[in-house]
Structure 1
């Protein structure tokens, strides 16, 4: 039961900015979590950390070790990425629109509303309050939108919504006086980005400034005067400023109250003198050129600058991005990647990759601009995921959603490798065939489609004489018969897989058929309906319904135990009923209303404990060995029950995200007004301004994730649960996306047969005395992973048959799990396969008789062997083609 959060699929990006660390590590916010994608290994992981609401801004330290995240509630987490832990927390007073580490990693600039705060970066030592506020800049008249540090960490460039960019000197003067900023004026819209430009010969010397505005213009600024940064004394008598924003001079020839001929010494934040240097913000900056991107009426929504290449990339609200070579403003590329607003654009460190994010479509792209090819192209589901299913070998996961699409994911990497979009309405059910290369999908568009995962095509479509809406799907063990239940006509349609012909129509239900499954051991079809019944059908002999199990409330779903000797169904009153399908008797019932209760909607007038709405399980799933069952529904909890004792073993809270509805147990009375809860009063238009138009309506009208009364806040729920055939992980289709939980691989001391003589020293003594048989049994009793593997490798290949036959049956499961783990990481393939072969020969009858208990371990072993076989076949095929090519070229 030691399941822990492992990954998040189905939603690679949902808004906010993205960053790239170590040139290949892409970090993106996904709701209230953070996802990290390795662009070289093509793998993605989601950190097991959660913010209190959706993350708005992230920033990574220059070395890629630390990560700052700020959510919608202004709460900040300081995260150690390698350790995956939160080191410090802080709460900012205002909304954070920009966040950036200094190039040396010592300071953090935070744009909190109109203020720019400079904090000292926390260290590893334990402190009561690790964040130290060094300086607060309050010169801006409106919300700050952009921040950029100079390489020497002495200057800060700030852009805001008051149409001004400001250049600050972050250090103090010797007498403690703070410098006034230089103002870059002349913009006609909000400043979206501002960047320092550097001399190509002297990369540490700032020689220009770029400011980019929302109305699709870029301003190039340069300075004139002496190299030391002092003003020429001949300019003292000028009454007009040399360029827009030049500080005014008073009658005594002072600039901002300082003598022109006297440049005071500066001090850094630690009080050290920085020498008599010129001040960058006191130079005579002038507008060199103003260029337009020519994308009107679209708005510029994202931009970034690469100082090494002197290139600018910009993204617009119409889905177009442009890449420009500065300072001559030469357009390198101008392409359209979507029809929606681009909300993130960033370079990697070397400048050869461009990253783009589209929040509305959940799209994340990495594009290599030199070769004009995609490095990464991922897109999540546009609406909530309705259904999911594992492949028989547990390597693939298929998802279907209200956006009419079917996506297939690789569980190990977290990447979607194929998307099927032929359906014209919401996908409601999925089923993998036993051959592992065929996927079935049912939809509200009245079709059931079969997909070939070799050629990635729809090779068969099952239809009905008149249009129907399918909400459930099942296939028998042989794969010859396909069945689908309907929402509108309450019928079950039966087709032949080989011919695609409609074989039969099963009638008898008086409500939508939302549950449909074949027995794992025979050809009996079981269906559940809202007419308060579960029916068993004989499909092959045409006898129709052979038995009916009545209930007092609507039946929402039905599942079989893997051995076929028990079926479970959930009803609208929050109960789970367990039936014996052979004798037709009710075995026992679990009352789950209190277990699944949790969370209160914004429109509820009662507390979560007293509310009766939605307290039922809509999805069930047995474990691989049938000992426990998972249940989920319209709640923030997933419940795990022990089937034999009917007790609650554990509850998984799928999210702590307060941006979703149904997470809080209690409402804050301070937010209650005469007009209702304060959160329901839409007093601003920030979502439309930022372009994050929340999608709240799907194709299933009776099952909406959100509606207008709660301002489009999605309601947290679990629509589908599936356990992998190996039993090592399970997936949940939730409002947050597809959450994957797996058993923690770290060592847990869990001995199976401990005695005073069973110690690690006894295992070592047995190995020294050349008794591998005794050493292996002792290590299995001790159940320590490292000792078990050490004992396995201590057995010589000739002694494997004798040792394998002497292992007691009760240790077989643990030994098989060790072999499956070794196959994934050990290079001694033949040795491990020899072990597996001899183990099957010696204990074949025991394994066959007790297959139910050993099924998860055997599935894990099958998955490992299948993976290695595929890798070896690909390698051999490539070598074969290479040898053929070399032979043909040699003959020529």
Structure 2
């Protein structure tokens, strides 16, 4: 059965002890009320930021300690594909089976008599057969309270994604669950949820919006005081400032939490994506060996561990020696050594094969070592520290080379050597990037500075001479790559985070999409907004693209519409393209600009007349799950689509029909599809961790799957000469493949510290650009 990973209880998200006591007591009283008429379901609702999730996790932790947690399932808007509706009941059934032997036997009996239950996506069938039927078989055998917590139902996706869950929650069977069963549900007050639950007799409603402001502010004051109590802030944060933060939060815990995070500016650990188990605390840093066969990890448990990347097992014993958290690890280019940097202010070098420390610790930093890296020839190590310095070390002799590289005014979070080893780059919480001469130990040029918050998205211009960046500071900036200078003034206009930026194909314009629900077009030459913001969408803009002549922009949105815009004037051209019944995930212009294709969560592909703003023909039906990616062939005669139904399909643009049978082979959802420039092949990337090539005409797979990634493959693209394929993955790597021989070319491109969502070749094929959840874009020599 399909289960939702990472959707369970997270004890790091619970309420601070001593806060939310009244609401927690209210919920606990409801759980422990043994009267027959007590409602089986409580709906805890309130506006975003009220702290619903923290309360849900606190209750789940409390009832788990009491032995009564049946299951905890938490939806998340950024994990829609993983935490889908059809996975909630299978996950709850599994958790109930893990908790209670009698339920486990009953569930096994039900499934053994009907093996189709292992793969069914029918939520109502899951409810009847995987939950209710086993419960009826063990009626009276389960002792004590059993609580199921469902958090953030409003983040499950569009209305249709939770309609079945709401139906079963309001059903007769839910109302007549055993008296010891309780379901705690949290969400914002959305119309469909309110309509279903507010008048339901067996659902009791509790609103956090009704909590008196004085009570909320009391708890927020305790929270803020606790969060900032142990941080050395140079006397900047005192009782007066804590009072101001509390008052400005206006009763919203999430606002207070984000304010504290901004003030502390402390990076949290990131757990490794593949199931390599052994560490006893957070995994902070991971890296592949140059040959891709091993992985090294550093952890809050103070150890370094080496893993077999293929088999997923630990190699030898853990590397012990550090007396604090291991913040950063890296392999040398020959794979023979490992370097680690730690909270204990030291750097250690290890022999990768035998798992032994080489020499004494490298000492000199006066605070935590955040980041370490080998030079390309392995003879030097660079380190960045909380002490605001960068230091260079001699690998063989274990001594510092020259003086510390000083200039940053805050923690140095990231360091790297240039490919030729002559330069070092460092990134810091002081919001700057600095470049250093590795031989002379001096800074090269001025710091690249301007942003006042995290950079969310950046992209190179087609000629590679400029970079555009979009940030959580709501600003777009353009930079001269050679001179390390900002070009012109910041591009102001967005009223919320800038989520996505891109250059037009001719490099003359920039398009940006934001959480403020607008698309904006900017003059890249004059660094001015070239038109008014393209306003019209009533929900997030999910995808944007230029027409080839750059005169128009198309956008797809969570509001289920596609809209076309005049690039120069920033006005919508015609009416919205309406027809999709769910979020529009992907949009693209045909090469001649006459048509638009869109793919949606309603499982259809639609083709539109870009001039008349009308749909051409009927929707292209065939996929039986969300359409995640669409693209035109370079000649404009075909469309390719990839779906969560694990298939790739090709469509005839003129005839509006599917060409041949679905391309089958992937064993999990297809995330990305693209044609080769010569239109003869298609590449697809999937959550089954493979990249596959297909014969576009015959619909058959070419060669074996391209294997090597250890996590979902999120994006893939051909090079302009058809000879290479680039792929980006959840495993944090970028890989390049020989499209003719079906083999990986050289080692994985390492550097990203989170999922790689998007990859592309430059027009001349000499460079690769990748975008990642680590908030960086990286450029590689192809």
TM-score when normalising by structure 2: 0.37
Q: Which has the higher contact order (CA 8 A, sep 6+)?
A: 1
More strand, by proportion = 1
Q: Which is greater in Rg?
A: 1
In the superposition, the TM-score normalised over structure 1's length comes to 0.33
